[in-house]
Amino acid sequence: MTARSLLLFTLGLAAAVEIASVPALARDERPKLLSTTGDGPRWKDEAEMKRMAEAGDAEACLEMGLLAENGSANPPDYIEARMWYERAASKGVIEADFRLGKLVSEGLGGSENQAAAFHHYLKAAEGGMALAQYNVGAMLSSGRGVRRNYVEGLAWLIVASRDPEIDPEGERRLREHLGRRPSDIAAAEKRAAELVAKLTEREATADAAKPAQP
């Protein structure tokens, strides 16, 4: 092996180790229609739901997106799903942002755009969705769609791991990767506490804004 070949091999091996050291994106379950979650839809049939969505109802827009992605459409209509999710997301529906992030990240229904996927995941993460928080941490720590930032990445993974349904392996792996940089781990833990405080404050504000139950 020549010196140049050895150098390329070493760089390639280092890159492989680096990639293996950071968590992968979380894959959620297939999207569930509102009509199957036990909450019960606010419409009597699909036609009424579509009318409500076209009139701007955020929940109906989300449901139309879920239906296109994993409902009666066979094969799934990802282009239509993106359209409805975009409408729902514009009205502040965090699940719509999460699902948009997934479709855009995988290039379903349009071009793949990791930067746009990160943007959607971040909005959902700031809205309190644990899966999105995990994916923000994974993307930051791997430099996918955003400049790599181990401290911010670990912070979001710590926040996500508060949810018992989130696999803590991603946080553990990144902590292990940063084992020789304790100052980065300490900074991430401090940042995670700040994020939790902001999320708690946002949740309290949202709860206070909800109309009182009759």
Q: What is the pLDDT of residues 103-155, one digit of tens each?
A: 999 999 999 999 999 999 999 999 999 999 999 999 999 999 999 999 999 99
Q: Which residue has the tokens 């993307």?
A: 139
Q: What is the pLDDT of residues 17-45, one digit of tens each?
A: 344 467 788 776 555 555 444 455 677 78
- Distance between the two ends of the chain, CA-based, in angstroms? 78
Read off the pLDDT band of 87 (50, 70, 90): very high
The total number of residues shown for the chain amounts to: 214
Which position has the higher pLDDT, 19 or 170? 170
Q: What average pLDDT score do residues 70-83 get?
A: 84
Q: Which residue has the tokens 């066979």?
A: 74
H or E element that contains 132 = helix 130-142
H or E element that contains 58 = helix 58-70
How far apart CA 125 and CA 160 sit, in angstroms, is 9
How far apart CA 28 and CA 132 sit, in angstroms, is 10
Which position has the higher pLDDT, 99 or 27? 99
pLDDT of amino acid 31: 55
What residue ranges do the domains of the chain occupy? 29-112, 114-206
Is the CB of residue 41 less than 8 Å from the CB of residue 34? Answer: yes
How far apart CA 145 and CA 189 sit, in angstroms, is 23
DSSP 160: H
Q: What average pLDDT score do residues 54-60 get?
A: 90
User: Which has the closest alpha carbon to 80: 99, 93, 64?
Assistant: 64
Q: What is the pLDDT of residues 188-208, one digit of tens each?
A: 999 999 999 999 998 887 766
pLDDT of amino acid 45: 80
Q: Is the pLDDT of residue 3 over 50?
A: no
Is the CB of residue 126 less than 8 Å from the CB of residue 138? Answer: no
CB burial of residue 103 (10 Å; 0-12, 13-18, 19+): buried
Q: What is the pLDDT of residues 4-20, one digit of tens each?
A: 433 333 333 333 334 44
pLDDT of amino acid 158: 97
